[in-house]
Amino acid sequence: MKFRPVPDYHMHTPRCNHACGTIREYAEAAVAAGLTEIGMSDHSPMPGGFDAAWRMHRNELDDYLREAEACRDAFAGQLTLRIGLEADYHPGSEAYVADMIAAYDWDYVIGSVHYIGDWGFDNPDTLDEWDKRNIDDAYVDYFRLVAESAATGMFDIIGHPDLIKKFGHRPSEEGDRVLAAQQQMLAAVQQSGAALEISSAGLRKPVGEIYPHPDIVAEAARLGIPFAYGSDAHSPTEVGHGMDACLSLLHEHGIRHIAAFRQRQRQMLAFCND
């Protein structure tokens, strides 16, 4: 590894119905991969049946916390384990999410956008919806939602901030309004004080790229926005995946520090010596 290992803050459990592995297995995989810190961030409960099949139910939250706390204590001295959530930003659910965040001592909360209206744009089952959509509109709507998610001030990390590219759909060459929406998104993130996630998940998806695009990394670096790393592991085998590639991309843009969280307090860690 070219860089010092950094915390991997994005991983799931079978409670979301599309991941495998116990928290202990994620922790063991992290130790085996030479990581010293990870954080669990399973898909949070959401109100009103939103995306209900692919996330924890509210009545599973206590078990999730108990399992994570037990594992955190069992690995103390060997691995730092933080306890977080990946919550969705979906207009109308803010009060529910704010309550859920206030109800526990989270180390951090990731805010992600997976839906434009009722369209789960990153779900392979609704891929044909892309044929009915204008790609530029989808990007603009997506970046607007991510900007709104940051503006709520509820989130510590803005998750995989250009997930909209997952299947390789690209905005048009003259996509000035896409660029403007992207810029507004970054301004909102900067203002919120949240960290932007650099995620290796895109490397495992049709787009074959890190989230976010190098242009977004460059602009975020210019704005002084901090980054946090996440593999978005849905299996223990994915813990720490692509970490070096993500850190290389940040390094190319002059970034030398990565965010670490404890009880929602951010600290910046140097991941290299130069």
Question: Which stretches of the chain are DSSP H helices?
Answer: 23-32, 61-74, 94-102, 129-132, 135-151, 176-192, 214-223, 243-252
Work out the number of other CB atoms within 10 angstroms of the CB of residue 252.
Answer: 12
Closer to Zn ion by CB, 43 or 82: give it. 43
CB of 57 to Zn ion, least distance (A): 15
Contact at 8 Å (CB) between 91 and 137? no
Closer to Zn ion by CB, 112 or 182: give it. 112
Q: Tell me, what DSSP letter sits at residue 110? A: E
Longest dimension (CA), the chain: 54
Bridge partner list, 258:
269
Closer to Zn ion by CB, 19 or 255: give it. 19
CB of 66 to Zn ion, least distance (A): 21
CB of 234 to Zn ion, least distance (A): 6
Work out the number of other CB atoms within 10 angstroms of the CB of residue 187.
Answer: 16
Query: Shortest Cβ contact with Zn ion: which residue?
Result: 112
CB of 10 to Zn ion, least distance (A): 8
Residue recorded with tokens 């690995």: 75
Closer to Zn ion by CB, 16 or 247: give it. 16
Closer to Zn ion by CB, 112 or 231: give it. 112
CA dist 28 and 69 (Å) reads 15
CB of 163 to Zn ion, least distance (A): 7
Residues lying near Zn ion in the complex (CB under 5 A) are found at 112
Closer to Zn ion by CB, 112 or 192: give it. 112
CB of 270 to Zn ion, least distance (A): 27
CB of 81 to Zn ion, least distance (A): 19
Closer to Zn ion by CB, 3 or 46: give it. 46
Buried b (16+ CB within 10 A) or exposed e, 36-68: ebbbbbbbbbbbeebbeebbbeeeebeebbebb
CA dist 3 and 266 (Å) reads 20
